[in-house]
């Protein structure tokens, strides 16, 4: 007699989601795909300009300084893009993280454990590969965190283009994985790339963030109904908090995350009815995502991706640097390996099955997409190496190369899988006729 399947074995790695959650993910995919295209376009433009006869104009623009020196805010335009504009991107990350932990799949341990474990594996394995390749060089070792990040805009853009018939569960897994990956990257930046902390500005920054949060919580309905109120009331407080975080010595983008965490996800208890509509965090995400995906991140990519390669010989010489080899292998091989192994291990330990429609080759495809580092990887490269260091530009060459390689391999693999799922869908439709 066949033994009954234990209840623990019938759980799926990707639980079915509500229609509202699927629509939300679909909307994010559409917006991020547009942002991803802009990101790639401006990065390519920067790379071409930096290697053209007019390269001096590009570097003069990037290095032109502007700002108020007494407040330590006289920065180059490139630094303003990295520290200032990218804070908008991290604000959206903070909103998304809080939503996932309060009302999304990450609020339940049973569904959160898989993407969290996968993200951790996708951080540890690339870091180990990188450190193993550059072993013996203290300077090169500073870049260990470069290949640990995932660029959600770029990755989702690729998935949106080639994954029209891939299961929605796979898309949701990529999105959740990238969100957790961002959280880990934020922690790495805050902990490992802060050399000195100035206590007074940090204390004042936390006070400003607390005031920001109290106002957002107390008047959530007001900000919900009046779109301009956030610009007139919350934005000035947020800018003050950002400037103080910058002065404290912690990377200023962390201010964006902390501010995002203060925005309420749910309505107040008095307004919490089935017809109340989306919470303030979702409203802000909807309002500000185009600013992040369409302006902030592409401009940051434009000022970060401009690297003078020096033609074919310069490209070849860059790959003679162990840092370049380490980053490329860590992103293209380490990311999918770490994500797949971690996912397999947690499903065995927790006795969780894959969705019946999925195969492990699909998880490998998602792991390859996660190997598209780009935005956060470029930021970590800026923090890892001084601009005078040869590793500084070489690391960017590696990030761009690895992201393109990962995107191409993932597109080929998931493209094959997408055709298979399309045939299955066509067969099902034919069977119902």
402 lies in which domain range?
Answer: 15-193+251-268+275-425
Residues 21 and 100 in one domain: yes
Residues 65 and 51 in one domain: yes
Threshold 0.75, pTM exceeds = yes
List pLDDT tens digits, range 152-197. 777 877 887 787 788 877 877 887 888 788 888 888 988 888 878 8
| pLDDT for res 120 | 94
Residues 111 and 240 in one domain: no
pLDDT along the chain (433 residues), means of 10: 39 53 55 73 90 91 88 86 89 86 77 87 96 91 92 77 78 81 86 86 95 93 88 94 91 90 80 66 86 87 81 66 94 96 91 76 92 88 87 89 92 90 77 62
Residues 130 and 33 in one domain: yes
Sign of CA dihedral 35, 36, 39, 45: negative
User: For residues 33 and 29, what is the distance between their CA atoms, to the nearest angstrom?
Assistant: 6
Residues 293 and 399 in one domain: yes
Distant-in-sequence, close-in-space partners of 156: CB < 8 Å, separation ≥ 6: 28, 29, 32, 33, 36, 174, 175, 178
Report if residue 30 sits inside a domain.
Answer: yes
Report if residue 89 sits inside a domain.
Answer: yes
List pLDDT tens digits, range 385-396. 988 888 888 898
Report if residue 67 sits inside a domain.
Answer: yes
CB-CB contact of 29 with 156 (8 Å): yes
Q: How many domains does the chain have?
A: 2
| pLDDT for res 430 | 66
Distant-in-sequence, close-in-space partners of 408: CB < 8 Å, separation ≥ 6: none
| pLDDT for res 193 | 86
Report if residue 7 sits inside a domain.
Answer: no
| pLDDT for res 30 | 52
Residues 137 and 219 in one domain: no
Residues 98 and 119 in one domain: yes
Report if residue 5 sits inside a domain.
Answer: no
User: For residues 309 and 321, what is the distance between their CA atoms, to the nearest angstrom?
Assistant: 13
Report if residue 8 sits inside a domain.
Answer: no
Report if residue 9 sits inside a domain.
Answer: no
Q: What is the dihedral of CA 127, 33, 289, 26, to 10 degrees?
A: -100
Report if residue 293 sits inside a domain.
Answer: yes
Residues 77 and 139 in one domain: yes
CATH number at residue 91: 1.20.1530.10
Residues 81 and 175 in one domain: yes
| pLDDT for res 22 | 56
Residues 258 and 126 in one domain: yes
CB-CB contact of 133 with 325 (8 Å): yes
Residues 259 and 223 in one domain: no
Residues 143 and 166 in one domain: yes
């Amino acid at each position: 007699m066949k033994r009954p399947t234990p209840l623990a074995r019938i759980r799926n790695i990707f639980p079915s989601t509500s229609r509202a959650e699927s629509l939300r993910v679909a909307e994010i995919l559409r917006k991020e795909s547009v942002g991803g295209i802009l990101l790639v376009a401006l990065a390519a433009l920067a790379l071409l300009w930096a290697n053209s006869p007019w390269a001096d104009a590009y570097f003069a623009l990037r290095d032109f300084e502007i700002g108020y020196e007494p407040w330590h805010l006289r920065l180059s335009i490139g630094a303003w893009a990295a520290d200032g504009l990218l804070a908008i991107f991290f604000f959206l990350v903070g909103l998304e993280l809080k939503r996932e932990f309060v009302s999304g799949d990450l609020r339940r341990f049973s569904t959160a454990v898989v993407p969290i474990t996968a993200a951790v594996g996708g951080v540890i394995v690339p870091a180990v590969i990188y450190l193993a390749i550059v072993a013996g060089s203290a300077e090169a070792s500073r870049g260990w965190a470069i290949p640990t990040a995932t660029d959600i805009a770029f990755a989702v853009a690729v998935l949106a283009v080639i994954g029209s018939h891939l299961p929605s569960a796979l898309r949701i897994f990529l999105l959740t994985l990238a969100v957790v990956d961002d959280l880990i990257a934020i922690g790495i930046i805050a902990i490992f790339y802060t050399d000195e902390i100035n206590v007074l500005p940090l204390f004042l920054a936390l006070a400003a963030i607390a005031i920001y949060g109290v106002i957002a919580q107390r008047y959530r309905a007001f900000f919900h109904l009046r779109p301009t109120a956030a610009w007139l009331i919350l934005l000035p407080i947020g800018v003050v908090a950002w400037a103080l975080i910058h002065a404290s010595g912690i990377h200023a983008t962390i201010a964006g995350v902390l501010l995002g965490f203060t925005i309420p996800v749910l309505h107040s208890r008095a307004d919490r009815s089935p017809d109340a509509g989306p919470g303030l965090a979702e409203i802000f995400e909807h309002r500000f995502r185009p600013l992040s995906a369409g302006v902030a991140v592409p401009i940051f990519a434009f000022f970060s991706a401009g690297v003078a390669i020096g033609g074919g010989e310069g490209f070849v010489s860059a790959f003679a640097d162990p840092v370049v080899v380490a980053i490329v292998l860590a992103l293209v091989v380490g990311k999918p390996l770490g994500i797949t192994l971690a996912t397999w291990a947690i499903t065995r330990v927790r006795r969780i099955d894959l969705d019946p429609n999925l195969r492990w080759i699909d998880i490998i495809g998602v792991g390859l997409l996660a190997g598209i580092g780009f935005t956060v990887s470029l930021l970590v490269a800026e923090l890892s190496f001084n601009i005078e260091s040869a590793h500084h530009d070489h690391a960017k060459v590696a990030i761009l190369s690895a992201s393109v390689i990962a995107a191409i391999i993932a597109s080929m693999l998931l493209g094959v899988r997408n055709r298979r799922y399309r045939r299955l869908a066509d067969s099902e439709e034919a069977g119902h006729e």
